Amino acid sequence: MSCEEQQEEEREVLASIYEGDECYKQVNETTFQYKIGESGHYKSFLVEVKWTENYPESLPNINLDAFYNNHVSPDVKSHVVSQLNEQAEQFLDSAMTYTIFEWAKENAEDLMVDQKEQIVAQKIEETNGESNQQTAKKKEKKEQLSKAQKRKLANRTDHKGERPRGWDWVDVVKLSKTGNKD
């Protein structure tokens, strides 16, 4: 079986396996991505596997250069790529994209053990620096109410937050009883 036939077969298999999986994406005919970990978590990363012309007889290009991985330190990226390449070498001459993704999912904690949470926080601060200062000035402090105060306020109002009609009317009968005693 030629390389092209093996690639076509693997494309179909990957499409059927990852059908409906939001973490998987086929970028083009020879490039596939898989997001590992919870979105937004500092230990999550996106693995990209790009097939060469001679794939699966030669190793695919594995990288973590996607924009999603900006929070991952360069040392961790190189460690993850070297580990994934090591795994891929075992499966030369066979379909290995699925195996690479699954191995990365199973070993994600070990691969990202050196990833520090503070790196994510620093990058977010660097990108949002001035905009955070401006929004902090604009935000006004809301009045904090206790549960009892909220309950009392809710009892006085209807479902729309408005008081019932006539809440401020004067009771004429009570006024006539408290009137003049001549």
Residue 25 counted as domain residue? yes
Tally the residues of the chain: 182
Give the structural domain span for 23.
3-118
Quick check: is 160 in a domain?
A: no
Greater pLDDT, 135 or 12: 12
Rounded to two decimals, the pTM is: 0.62
| pLDDT score for 119 | 47
Q: What is the distance between the alpha carbons of residues 119 and 137, in angstroms, rounded to a whole number?
A: 26
For residue 83, CA distances in Å to 22, 50, 52, 117 come to 24, 16, 19, 22
Spatial distance between the Cα atoms of 96 and 82, rounded to a whole number of angstroms: 15
pLDDT in tens, 42-84: 888 899 999 888 888 888 898 888 888 888 888 888 988 898 8
Asked if residue 173 is part of any domain, the answer here is no
Residue-wise pLDDT for 122-134, tens only, equals 454 555 555 555 5
CB 36 within 8 A of CB 108: yes
Has residue 73 been placed in a domain? yes
Residue pair 56/3 in contact by the 8 Å Cβ criterion = yes
- Provide the 3-class DSSP secondary structure of residue 39: coil
Q: Which two tokens stand for residue 176?
A: 């006539």
Nearest CA among 20, 17, 6 for reference residue 51: 6
Strand residues in the chain grouped as ranges (E): 24-28, 31-36, 45-50, 61-63
8 A C-beta contact, residue 43 and residue 84: no
The CATH number of whichever domain residue 60 belongs to comes to 3.10.110.10
Q: pLDDT of 150-165, one tens digit each?
A: 888 777 777 677 777 7
Give a yes or no: residue 182 inside a domain: no
Q: What is the pLDDT of residue 134?
A: 54
- Give the pLDDT of residue 87: 87
Cα gap 60→163, rounded to integer Å = 69
Is residue 87 a part of any domain in this protein? yes
Instruction: Find the mean pLDDT for residues 96-114.
Output: 87
Q: Is residue 68 part of a domain?
A: yes
* Domain assignment present for 54: yes
Number of domains composing the chain: 1
